[in-house]
């Protein structure tokens, strides 16, 4: 029996046909992101060969060391999307301010937010890294896009996705109509549909958290973790296995396919980061949109991530993401042990 080969371009087009109001612009925008992903994938594969490794000598807006490949991925996404007339404004984890469309070029209807290279501390140890993106419709009617166009809750997303640069390169995206995964055929240069309609398995396998931060955890997070390990009397019978890569995209992708929960809670490690480490706009919100469309759930410990309206571009949030029952259990432990009763 032969099997049909579906390229990402054809898939996006067919998804768009389901929306009669669509104009083709959206299809092209998603395809532009796939193109950027291919360029970053090519550069990632060469990372050990060319002198691209090491610190670029500056820090990003969060004061963290920035690797050269971050800069490259950031600039690639910006360059590809600045001149097409499809985007009104962009926001990137690596840019302090919003990214405006250059003077003289048309602005479009969409807003693109992204973490150009996630897991950058893993680049020079040859561990998987990724790109995360979200697409909104602009709120303002015309003219250059604004910061308000970027600060929208996840419920307003029209699409979200990620690319993982691992043992193979994969792009996973949703426009709200199923979550679909494509694997890059590096010889042909096309993303081909390999994982249609991804759903979280009902029986979760893994929990993923940085155990090195345990001394700084709250009581609720500590007890929730013991519950996952089967040490709490109300625990599910079989303890979950632990897996942690330290690249959100890779940890999320594994748990999406195998079932489980990833969490980066608020902790007491760094008083300047009372809400944990991850960014609401570029990391938590797009992955929350994907997980919900795969049958899962994402929370900041007290409320759905998708309900939060960001108030600043680089806002951080605690994140609990994966199988719904596990995330709700985390919320229950936090409500019971961490929230002052009123
Ligand atoms: P980024 O490389 O975009 O700054 O993100 C790094 C994040 C994320 O990928 C990962 O989940 C987390 O950092 C790991 O942090 P710890 O090393 O503190 O566990
Ligand atoms: Mn990141
Ligand atoms: Mn990053």
Closest residue to atom 14 of ligand 1, CA basis:
246
Closest residue to atom 2 of ligand 1, CA basis:
119
Beta strands in the chain (DSSP E): 55-59, 65-67, 87-92, 99-100, 110-118, 129-137, 159-165, 169-174, 179-185, 190-195, 206-208, 241-242, 260-264, 297-299, 319-322
CA pair distance 191, 331, nearest whole angstrom: 37
Task: Write out pLDDT tens, residues 201-212.
Answer: 999 999 999 999
Domains 8-195 and 206-337 share a fold: no
CB atoms closer than 10 angstroms to residue 46: 11
For the Cβ of 300 lying below 6 angstroms from any atom of ligand 1, the answer is: no
Q: Using an 8 Å Cβ cutoff, are 173 and 15 in contact?
A: no
Look at residue 55 in the predicted model and tell me its pLDDT: 47
Look at residue 15 in the predicted model and tell me its pLDDT: 82
Say how many Å lie between the CA of residue 283 and the centre of ligand 3.
Answer: 9
Look at residue 65 in the predicted model and tell me its pLDDT: 53
The DSSP code for 280 is: I
The CATH number given to 206-337 is 3.40.190.80
Q: Which atom of ligand 1 is nearest to the CA of 244?
A: 19
CA pair distance 32, 174, nearest whole angstrom: 15
Write out the DSSP string of 150-178. H---GGG-SEEEEEEESSSEEEEEESSS-
For the Cβ of 269 lying below 6 angstroms from any atom of ligand 1, the answer is: no
Say how many Å lie between the CA of residue 338 and the centre of ligand 1.
Answer: 24
| φ and ψ at residue 285, rounded to 5 degrees | -65, -50
Low-confidence ranges of the chain (pLDDT < 50): 52, 55
Q: Which atom of ligand 1 is nearest to the CA of 118?
A: 3
Say how many Å lie between the CA of residue 280 and the centre of ligand 1.
Answer: 13
Look at residue 57 in the predicted model and tell me its pLDDT: 53
pTM higher than 0.85, yes or no? yes
Domain boundaries, the chain: 8-195, 206-337
Closest CA to 252 of 305, 177, 313, 216: 305
The CATH number given to 8-195 is 3.30.540.10
- HSE toward the beta carbon, residue 341, CA cutoff 13 A: 2
């Amino acid at each position: 029996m032969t099997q049909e080969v579906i390229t990402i371009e054809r898939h996006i087009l067919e998804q768009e046909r389901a929306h009669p109001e669509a104009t083709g612009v959206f299809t092209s925008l998603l395809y532009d992101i796939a193109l950027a992903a291919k360029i970053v994938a090519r550069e990632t594969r060469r990372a050990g060969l060319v002198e691209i490794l090491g610190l670029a000598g500056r820090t990003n807006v969060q004061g963290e060391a920035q690797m050269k490949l971050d800069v490259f991925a950031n600039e690639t996404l910006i360059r590809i999307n600045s001149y097409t007339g499809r985007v009104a404004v962009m926001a990137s984890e690596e840019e302090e301010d919003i990214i405006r469309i250059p003077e003289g070029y048309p602005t479009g209807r969409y807003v693109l937010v992204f973490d150009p290279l996630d897991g950058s501390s893993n680049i020079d140890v040859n561990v998987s890294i990724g790109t995360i993106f979200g697409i909104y419709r602009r709120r303002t009617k015309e003219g250059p896009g604004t910061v308000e166009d970027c600060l929208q809750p996840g419920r307003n997303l029209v699409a979200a996705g990620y690319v993982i640069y691992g043992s193979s390169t994969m792009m996973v995206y949703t426009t709200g109509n199923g979550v679909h995964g494509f694997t890059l055929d590096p010889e042909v240069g096309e993303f081909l549909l390999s994982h249609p309609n991804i759903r979280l398995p009902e029986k979760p396998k893994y929990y993923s958290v940085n155990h090195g931060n345990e001394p700084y955890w709250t009581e609720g997070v500590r007890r929730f973790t013991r519950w996952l390990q089967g040490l709490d009397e109300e625990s599910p019978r079989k303890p979950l296995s632990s897996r942690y890569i330290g690249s959100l995209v890779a940890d999320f992708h594994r748990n999406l396919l195998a079932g489980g929960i990833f969490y980066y809670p608020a902790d007491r490690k760094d008083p300047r980061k009372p809400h944990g480490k991850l960014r609401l706009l570029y990391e938590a919100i797009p992955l929350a949109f994907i997980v919900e469309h795969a049958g899962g759930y994402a929370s900041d410990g007290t409320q759905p991530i998708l309900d939060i309206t960001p108030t600043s571009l680089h806002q951080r949030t605690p994140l609990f993401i994966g199988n719904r029952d596990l995330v709700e259990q985390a919320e229950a432990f936090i409500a019971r042990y961490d929230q002052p009763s009123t």
